Amino acid sequence: MEEKLWEGGPSQLTRLGTYLLCLLLAPLVIPIFFALAKYLQVRSCRYELTNERLRVRRGVLSRRTDELELYRVRDLTVVEPFFLRLVGRGHVILDTTDASTPQLTLEAVADPQKVRDLVRRGVEARRQVAGVRPLEVH
């Protein structure tokens, strides 16, 4: 049975530069709509980690859901840019064997080290259940 291990989304801080630029150009009115569109894009992105897969849902009017089977994850990297680190956020980058998603980035998630550990434990557990072993070619 599939159970949810974690759910989250990116921080609006990822678009701070865009928001500041739009604020400076606010008298032109159009940048306000651009900033609103960017806000909605970030707000509508959700990450969901289960014991079997990672789902990424995106979209404001139209929605797209990508799923990545956990046993396909090869490597995990945490990147914590200075500005995001100040607020306890960072990026978790997953290198995978999935043809449609060779690399997946969970942008600006809260407590990225914890998220990485949850994904890593899920990957190992799923590989054991599925009987999958990683093949390393040198």
- The answer to whether 16 touches 128, Cβ cutoff 8 Å, is no
Domains and CATH numbers, the chain: 4-130 (2.30.29)
Residues 6 or more apart whose Cβ sits within 8 Å of residue 135: none
Upper half-sphere CA count for residue 122 (Cβ side, 13 Å) = 25
Q: What whole-number distance in Å separates Cα of residue 80 and Cα of residue 88? A: 9
pTM for this prediction: 0.88
Q: Tens place of pLDDT for every residue, the chain, 138 residues? A: 899 999 999 999 888 888 888 888 877 777 788 788 888 998 999 999 999 999 999 999 999 999 999 999 999 999 999 999 999 999 999 999 999 999 999 999 999 999 999 999 999 999 998 888 776 666
DSSP 24: H
First to last CA, the chain: 36
